[in-house]
Amino acid sequence: MKIGVIGATGKAGSKIIFEALDRGHQVTALVRNAKKAKTLFDSKVTIIEKDAFAITKQDLSNLDVVIDAFAVPMGKHLAYQHIDLAVHLIHLLRETSTPRVIFILGAGSLQSDKGLFVEQLKQIPNSQDWIDTPESQAFELDFLRTVKNVNWVGVSPSQSFVDGPKTDYILGQDNVLFNEQQKSEVSTGTMAVAILDELETPTVHQARFTVCNK
Amino acid sequence: MKIGVIGATGKAGSKIIFEALDRGHQVTALVRNAKKAKTLFDSKVTIIEKDAFAITKQDLSNLDVVIDAFAVPMGKHLAYQHIDLAVHLIHLLRETSTPRVIFILGAGSLQSDKGLFVEQLKQIPNSQDWIDTPESQAFELDFLRTVKNVNWVGVSPSQSFVDGPKTDYILGQDNVLFNEQQKSEVSTGTMAVAILDELETPTVHQARFTVCNK
């Protein structure tokens, strides 16, 4: 498949690219900083340098899949870019079925046994300094759920999303997942595998799934 | 004031322009079809011809106010353009306080005594043919309510929004309004007056108000 990744040099995006290359897919990295991408990836990756909000329909027209792995640092200042970019990409793809577009969301929009996880996060002291990020990503899913004319999928990590190698994994839909050790954690490596598995064998359509390290 | 109107040739937009001209404001019409606008307005209106989704930050930079009076015909096909355009405009104006931006929303997001008005609309036979339009506009308000870094205001008509001259009016916030004759209707002329009054004497910030003919 021809796979484009936005936010390609980030912790989620880069692992997805390595996994996609391992499986023989053709990868395009859409990045703000081509130099950083060239250092990170070998010459098999096509690099397009542009601001994510400047991406055009034309940039996406040749792809089978676009993965939005764009993320800003946790905080108040740029949190809104998650929802703004999701709408920008969805708008470019309105009334199409290709490319399929995968949005990496936060865990905040998952349901826990105490309600929406983002509401629990708000109870953490000083959460007002960073809560805008999970809130924006939770609203991103609210938006996606209104979208019926684009081939989209959302994916949320578990409560912790850590840099690390791939493991076996558990899949879920809208509830926070825990493994047998009662740990709710997914590694970037596992997230990449779960996404590539879903791309190669589609099972989710216009909905969100979630992944947990087994 | 320097006032820009998107959807300037529509039923709401054109009345706003006439009212603004009457009050001596400088008006810019941002329109898809300059010829139609030139027929409708006299030479005092500056006309910029471009697709609403191609509007740039630069186009708005000289304005005190932008009014989003863009509307697509009621129906399934293009309803999503309401939410997509709202996010496009908000994105251009993130982290600014000028221009102020006014979104003309539907009545669907108002609360009635039976709950959200759009839920009542869904009970009308064959509403599935057009419900996407009020739903998209209701979601537009959900989105705006997440926006803390733009100087926005939303305005909803009453249950009926009809072409007609200005009258005295009643203002409300989030509930469907009725006049003394138990009629919930606002004319385009009244809507234009209420918006210009709000622009000249701001009372609403990052919230929605609603208008009813008295």
Query: Quick one: pLDDT at residue A76?
Result: 74
Nearest to B149 among A80, A83, A135 (CB): A80
Chain A neighbors of B109, CB-CB under 8 A? none
Chain A neighbors of B87, CB-CB under 8 A? 83-84, 87-88, 91
DSSP-derived secondary structure letter, B75: S
CA–CA distance, A111 with A212 (Å, rounded to integer): 14
pLDDT tops 90 at residue A74:
no
Nearest to B53 among A83, A91, A143 (CB): A91
Task: Supply the DSSP string of B80-123, one letter for each residue.
Answer: THHHHHHHHHHHHHTT---SEEEEE--STTSEETTEEHHHHHTT
Instruction: Please report where in the chains the tokens 């799934």 appear, as a residue.
Output: A209
Query: Quick one: pLDDT at residue B116?
Result: 94
pLDDT digits (tens, 9 = 90+) for A27-71: 999 999 999 999 999 889 999 999 999 999 999 999 999 999 999
Query: Quick one: pLDDT at residue B72?
Result: 86
A91 and B142 in contact by Cβ < 8 A? no
Q: Which residues pair with B46 in a beta bridge?
A: B28
Do B89 and B68 form a contact (C-beta atoms < 8 A)?
A: yes
Angle subtended at Cα A178 by Cα A176 and Cα A179, rounded to the nearest 5 degrees:
155
| Radius of gyration of chain B, Cα coordinates, nearest whole angstrom | 16
Q: Give the H or E element holding residue B193.
A: helix B188-200
Average pLDDT over residues A182-210: 98
Residue B49, judged by CB atoms within 10 A of its CB (0-12, 13-18, 19+), counts as middle
Nearest to B139 among A135, A146, A149 (CB): A146
Query: Quick one: pLDDT at residue A207?
Result: 98
pLDDT tops 80 at residue A10:
yes
Do B146 and B207 form a contact (C-beta atoms < 8 A)?
A: no
CA–CA distance, A209 with A157 (Å, rounded to integer): 9
**Closest C-alpha to B211, from B198, A136, B199:** B198
Chain B neighbors of A91, CB-CB under 8 A? 53, 84, 87-88
A88 and B90 in contact by Cβ < 8 A? no
Q: What is the pLDDT along chain B (214 residues), one digit of tens a residue?
A: 999 999 999 999 999 999 999 999 999 999 999 999 999 998 899 999 999 999 999 999 999 999 999 998 877 789 999 999 999 999 999 999 999 999 999 999 999 988 999 999 999 999 999 999 999 999 999 999 999 999 999 999 999 999 999 999 999 999 999 999 999 999 999 999 999 999 999 999 999 999 999 9
Instruction: Please report where in the chains the tokens 């991408």 appear, as a residue.
Output: A37
Instruction: Please report where in the chains the tokens 């969301």 appear, as a residue.
Output: A105
**Which domains, and CATH codes, for chain A?**
2-213 (3.40.50.720)
| Radius of gyration of chain A, Cα coordinates, nearest whole angstrom | 16
A29 φ, ψ (degrees, to nearest 5) = -100, 120
Query: Quick one: pLDDT at residue B86?
Result: 98
pLDDT category at A25 given cuts 50, 70, 90 is very high
Q: Which three-class secondary structure state does DSSP give residue B22?
A: helix
B136 and A146 in contact by Cβ < 8 A? yes
Chain B neighbors of A143, CB-CB under 8 A? 83, 139, 143
**Closest C-alpha to A45, from A87, A13, A80, A93:** A13
Query: Quick one: pLDDT at residue A72?
Result: 86
CA–CA distance, A6 with A48 (Å, rounded to integer): 10
CA–CA distance, B100 with B68 (Å, rounded to integer): 11
Please list, in sequence order, all residues whose beta carbon lies within 8 angstroms of the beta carbon of residue A20, skipping any fewer than 6 positions away.
A3, A5, A27, A192, A196
pLDDT tops 90 at residue A163:
yes
Query: Quick one: pLDDT at residue B73?
Result: 81
CA–CA distance, A81 with A89 (Å, rounded to integer): 12
Q: What is the dihedral of CA A168, A171, A176, A180, to 10 degrees?
A: -40
Question: What ipTM score was computed for the predicted complex, to two decimals?
Answer: 0.93
B53 and A139 in contact by Cβ < 8 A? no
